[in-house]
Amino acid sequence: MIGASACGPMGYVWCSQWGHGRRRWRQREWWAGAMDDRRPRAERGEVRFLVLDAIKDQPRHGYEVIGHIEERAGGSYRPSPGVIYPTLQLLEELEQAQVVEEAGRKAYAITDKGRDELALNRRAVDEFYERFEEEPWEAYAEDFAELMQGVARLVKAFRRGSRHGRLSPAALRAIKSALDEALDKIEAALGGDRR
């Protein structure tokens, strides 16, 4: 069994093989980066709408806004103060939020202009929080591993074909056609448009 414990030269991880007492650098799987950041993040423009949503029902100070967003995201996303406080200041400058005194502390309340902006972008807020209601991909780790094995087989097939001189123009056209069709289906399954 291999246990990765440290990052090394680009693309390599430090591994130990339990039971053998050997330690060495080994190349990290090319797809491993897809699993590095497992939690969804808010896009730059979305944060503004999440903050407006957090202050729509009651004034809140910065840490209350952070707590509200974290709670709605089921604890899976917590924006940093370095994101929230500048966003609150921006909303104030855009006249979408105003500073109010609450228990001797500076809090922010939504303005009519902010409510209009939130109404126009309600869908972005709803879609953001819906991401956290779905079962995380970790629940399907075996399926994901099986999928990655299929991708690895594809890469190996290309390597074998190129080593044995089998990538003729006709073969390349057939492969390109098959990949285009597969990519269309994959992108449709992921709900994205082909670029």
pLDDT digits (tens, 9 = 90+) for 76-115: 888 899 999 999 999 999 999 999 988 888 999 999 999 9
Say if residue 44's pLDDT is above 60. no
Tokens in use for 99? 């500073």
Q: What total number of domains does the chain contain?
A: 2
Share of the chain above pLDDT 70, in %: 71
40 three-state secondary structure: coil
Q: Is pLDDT above 70 for 63?
A: yes
- Domain containing 5 equals 1-30
Where does a domain end: 133, 164, 183? 133
Percentage of the chain lying above the pLDDT 90 cut: 32
| Run of H or E including 27 | strand 22-27
Same domain, 56 and 89: yes
Residues 97 and 67 in one domain: yes
Global confidence as pTM: 0.51
Supply the pLDDT for residue 46.
81
The whole-angstrom separation of Cα 181 and Cα 73 is: 36
d(CA 132, CA 74): 7
pLDDT given at position 6: 47
**b/e string for 78-115 if b means 16 or more Cβ within 10 A?**
ebeeebbeebbeebeeeebbbeeeeeeeebbbbbeebe
**Nearest in space to 72 (alpha carbons), one of 100, 46, 108, 38:** 46
The answer to whether residue 171 sits within a structural domain is no
Cα gap 126→67, rounded to integer Å: 17
Predicted confidence (pLDDT) at residue 40 exceeds the cutoff of 90 = no
> 3-state DSSP call for residue 69?
helix
Return the pLDDT at 154: 86
Q: Per-residue confidence at 130, pLDDT binned at 50, 70, 90? A: confident
Residue 14 predicted with pLDDT over 90: no
